[in-house]
Amino acid sequence: MSEIFDVVLIALLIACSVAVVRLKDLLAATVVFSTYSLTMCLLWLHRGAPDVAMTEAAVGAGITTVLFLITIGRTTGRER
């Protein structure tokens, strides 16, 4: 059962990676990147590294996503 969970998580990671690269919409890419980070958090937790999982959740899915959203908000949609 554990191996199946690992395979599903790795498949989801690969799918998220490909989706982030191929998406044209920056907001959608940011959401998928956040999903990637949360999936990495689950993988680290499942592998027995709760400290790394918490760091990934806080930095990868939390702070990085917020910074990306702020940057997208400040750089897109402006007219001169």
Task: Sketch the domain layout of the chain as residue ranges.
Answer: 2-75
Confidence (pLDDT) at 78:
61
Please indicate, yes or no, whether the overall pTM of this predicted structure exceeds 0.75. yes
Q: Would you state the structure tokens that stand for residue 18, as one six-digit string?
A: 């490909």
Distance CA 21, CA 33 (A): 10
Looking at residue 23, what DSSP letter applies? -
Q: Mind listing the pLDDT tens digit of every residue in the chain (80 residues)? A: 788 998 999 999 999 999 999 999 999 999 999 999 999 999 999 999 999 999 989 998 899 999 999 999 898 766 55
Distance CA 46, CA 13 (A): 14
